[in-house]
């Protein structure tokens, strides 16, 4: 009887172990599958707690974004440089500002800036709200006196109504102006690209060359791109000196005087990268092929603050082609945007 | 009686010196840079409380470079760029707060509170001194 009892107990233990094993084997892949793919866009666009998205705020921000009356001359708007038809940039090596003066840095796309932890090439603003007024008051850019702009807007009945709908009781102030622009900019996000469809399981969404390019891109030894271009937005939100020829711009160092930041600039997003040429903070490269060549030789100016992630890659011709093919798959359809009728 | 009193004072002195030596022993702490976070034993840390004279080792556990620095009243340093597996050490010899950041990854931020051990013992209980 005792023997039988032990046998039954053993049997039950084995059965329990088997059931446990089956559960573990079954649940583990489900658990892994439920982890969000780090390369796919997060479901929620980050927003400031005191500036949550509303349709009224977005529409006000859009009107302001396209309105040249925000500039000192009344003929430059945010959209003059951040042109939606040019990847929310301007297609120029470096921006053109007040009085057609050529400026020192390229116009960065505003695509996916909602996901960035620092704004501007040198990261001098943390949030879009902090960033929004910078180019408006910059003497070399829109060259506006903010008090005059606010007075101008307050004298336009259409804006009085829009501001009241968007920020009831807050008035037309620097704060509501910045918040409205930021609210609109957070709607400028990348759409589903062939790369995203591939990540979601469509094997035919990208070419074999692009698939190999992604492998090289994410290899920390061969391609090394992933050391800086990480996650869904393909940026580490970090600052790197990538050895651009003849660069004298201090970049991030002017904001944070730490030696390794001399000549360092923010890692840009690679989303919609096919639409945002030319590339780099000074527009040094016209094509993605030129960009890959630059990284393959680990930069040109090997200054002492060159980012140590920059190492010669020794890629083959085919690997370079694959990398470019992959990067092109990060470009989705442009978001649909209707031009606003500006308030009168 | 006098000899007995002498022994008592001698014992007291030795005990006092032992306690003082224990208090005065400089601690060592290791802070990892892991997935662009400051960590202790793999867990994100925002504040570390140490004593004057303690050493903090900053160890890069990420596959990419970090550049740890501080521009604070009690401690200003730049550790340069250092790769995975490498470590840089800092001795904190003044009491107060030091803000620690990564130059490359600006979202990395933590505070080290340095206590004067003669005034107070460290309150941090999560951190074990590295032997």
Average pLDDT over every residue of A176-205: 97
- Catalytic residue check, A141: yes
Is the CA virtual torsion B26, B32, B38, B39 positive or negative? Answer: negative
Mark which of A131, A153, A185 sits at the end of a domain. A185
Q: Model confidence over A52-65: pLDDT tens digits?
A: 999 999 999 999 99
Average pLDDT, whole number, for chain A?
Answer: 92
Bridge partners (DSSP) of residue B60 are: B33
Q: Is the pLDDT of residue A34 over 90?
A: no
Where is A158: in which H helix or E strand? helix A157-166
Residue B1 is predicted with a pLDDT of 54
Q: Which of A218, A199, A176, A193 is nearest to A50 (CA)?
A: A176
Q: List residues bridging with B40 in a β-sheet.
A: B43
Q: Which residues in A163-263 belong to E strands, given as ranges?
A: 239-240
Tally the domains of chain A. Answer: 2
CATH assignment at residue A165 = 1.10.760.10
**Same domain for A314 and A201:** yes
Is the pLDDT at B6 greater than 50, yes or no? yes
Chain B residues in contact with A233 (beta carbon < 8 A):
none
Q: Which of B64, B69, B78 sits opposite A227 (nearest CB)?
A: B64
Give the pLDDT band of residue B5 (cuts 50, 70, 90): low
- Is residue A333 one of the residues assigned to a domain? no
The pLDDT value given to residue A151: 98
Same domain for A323 and A209: yes
Whether A20 and A111 share a structural domain: no
Dump pLDDT digits (tens) for A248-297: 999 999 999 999 999 999 999 999 999 999 999 999 999 999 999 999 99
- What is the value of ipTM here, to two decimals? 0.80
pLDDT value at A28 more than 50: no
Q: Tell me, yes or no, whether A109 lies in a domain.
A: yes
pLDDT in tens, A114-135: 999 999 999 999 999 999 999 9
Single residue among A185, A205, A222 that ends a domain in this structure: A185
Cβ-contact A213, A325 below 8 angstroms:
yes
Assigned domain for A341 exists: no
Distance, in Å, from the CA atom of B58 to the CA atom of B48, rounded to the nearest integer, reads: 13
Angle at A22 between CA A20 and CA A23, to 5 degrees: 65
- Judged against a pLDDT cut of 80, whether residue A70 lies above it is answered with yes
Shared domain for A271 and A295, answered yes or no, is yes
Q: Kindly state the average pLDDT of the residues B10-23.
A: 54
Using CB atoms, which residue from B78, B83, B103 is nearest to A308? B83
Per DSSP, the three-state class of A236 is: coil
Cα–Cα distance between B24 and A137 in angstroms, integer? 55
Assess A219–B contact: CB distance below 8 Å, yes or no.
no
Distances (CA, A) of A123 to A128, A150, A312: 11, 26, 27
Q: Which chain B residues touch A240 with a CB distance below 8 Å? A: 104
Range of the domain at A259: 8-38+192-328
pLDDT of A30 reads 46
Which of A220, A258, A264 lies nearest to residue B78, judging by beta carbons? A258
CB pair distance less than 8 Å for B106 and A239: yes
For residue A321, being part of any structural domain is answered with yes
Q: Which of B130, B131, B126 is nearest to B48 (CA)?
A: B126
**Does one domain contain both A178 and A199?**
no
* Contact (CB, 8 A) for A180 and A59: no
Q: Distance (Å, rounded) from C-alpha B79 to C-alpha B70?
A: 9
The partner residues of B115 in beta bridges, in order of sequence, read B51
In a shared domain, residues A104 and A147: yes
B78 in contact with A, Cβ within 8 Å: yes
Contacts of A291 (CB under 8 A, 6+ apart): A279, A280, A285
- What's residue A1's pLDDT? 33
Claim to verify: residue A60 and residue A123 sit in the same structural domain: yes
Statement to judge: residues A156 and A120 lie in one domain: yes
User: What is the per-residue pLDDT for B26?
Assistant: 77
* Kind and range of the H or E run holding B14: helix B2-24
User: How far away is chain A from the Cα of B113, in angstroms, using its nearest Cα?
Assistant: 22
- Please report the pLDDT score of residue B117 as a whole number: 73
Check CB contact under 8 Å for B104 and A308. Answer: no
Handedness of CA A18, A20, A26, A28 (dihedral sign): negative
User: Global pTM?
Assistant: 0.84
Q: How far apart are CA A10 and CA A25, in angstroms?
A: 22
Over 70: is that where the pLDDT of A225 sits? yes
How confident is the model over A37-47, as a mean pLDDT?
Answer: 92
CA distance to partner chain A, nearest, from residue B64 (Å): 6
Quote the pLDDT of residue A2.
37
Per-residue pLDDT, averaged over B93-121, amounts to 90
Asked if the structure places residue A339 within a domain, the reply is no
What is the pLDDT confidence band of residue B24, given thresholds at 50, 70 and 90?
A: low
Residue B109: asked if its preceding bond is cis (omega within 30°), the reply is no
SS3 readout for B63-123: CCCEEEEEECCCCEEEEEEECCCCEEEEECCCCEEEEEEECCECCCEEEEEEECCCCCCCC
| Residue pointed to by tokens 């053109």 | A96
A261 contacts B64? CB cut-off 8 A: no
Instruction: Extract the tokens encoding A337.
Output: 């945007």
Residue A99 included in any domain: yes
């Amino acid at each position: 009887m005792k023997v039988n009892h032990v046998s039954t107990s053993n049997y039950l233990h084995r059965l329990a172990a088997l059931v446990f094993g089956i559960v573990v084997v079954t649940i583990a892949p489900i658990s892994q599958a439920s982890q969000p793919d780090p390369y796919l866009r997060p479901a929620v666009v980050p927003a400031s707690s005191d500036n949550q998205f509303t349709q009224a705020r977005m529409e006000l921000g859009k009107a302001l974004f396209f309105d040249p009356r925000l500039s000192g001359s009344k003929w430059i708007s945010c959209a003059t440089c951040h042109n939606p038809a040019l990847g929310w940039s301007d297609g120029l090596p470096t921006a053109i500002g007040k009085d057609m003066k050529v400026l020192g840095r390229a116009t960065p796309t505003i695509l996916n800036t909602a996901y960035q932890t620092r704004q501007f090439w040198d990261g001098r603003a943390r949030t879009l709200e902090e960033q929004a007024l910078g180019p408006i008051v910059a003497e070399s850019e829109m060259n506006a006196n903010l008090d005059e702009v606010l007075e101008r807007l307050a004298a336009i009945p259409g804006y009085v109504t829009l501001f009241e709908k968007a920020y009831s009781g807050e008035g037309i102030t620097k704060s509501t102006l910045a918040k409205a622009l930021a609210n609109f900019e957070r709607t400028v996000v990348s759409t589903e690209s062939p790369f995203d469809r591939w990540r979601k399981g469509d094997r035919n969404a990208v070419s074999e060359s692009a698939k190999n390019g992604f492998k090289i891109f994410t290899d920390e030894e061969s391609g090394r791109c992933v050391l800086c271009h990480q996650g869904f937005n393909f940026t580490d939100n970090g600052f790197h000196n990538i050895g651009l020829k003849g660069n004298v711009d201090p970049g991030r160092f002017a904001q944070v005087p730490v030696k390794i930041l001399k000549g360092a600039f923010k890692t840009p997003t690679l989303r919609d990268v096919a639409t945002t040429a030319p590339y780099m903070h000074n527009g040094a490269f016209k094509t993605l092929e030129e960009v890959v060549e630059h990284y393959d030789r680990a930069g040109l100016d090997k200054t002492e603050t060159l980012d140590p992630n920059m190492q010669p890659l020794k890629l083959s011709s085919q690997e370079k082609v694959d990398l470019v093919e992959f990067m092109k798959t990060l470009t989705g359809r442009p978001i649909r945007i209707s031009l606003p009728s500006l308030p009168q | 009686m006098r000899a007995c009193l002498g022994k008592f004072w001698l014992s007291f002195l030795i005990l006092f010196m032992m306690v003082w030596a224990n208090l005065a022993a400089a601690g060592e702490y290791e802070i990892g840079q892991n997935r662009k976070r400051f960590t202790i034993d793999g867990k994100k840390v925002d504040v570390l409380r140490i004593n004057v004279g303690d050493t903090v080792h900053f160890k890069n556990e990420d596959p990419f470079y970090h550049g740890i620095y501080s521009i604070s009243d009690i401690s200003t340093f730049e550790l340069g760029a250092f790769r995975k597996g490498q470590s840089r050490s800092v001795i904190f010899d003044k009491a107060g707060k030091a803000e620690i950041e990564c130059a490359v990854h600006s979202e990395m931020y933590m505070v080290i509170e340095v206590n004067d051990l003669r005034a107070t013992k460290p309150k941090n209980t999560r951190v074990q001194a590295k032997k």
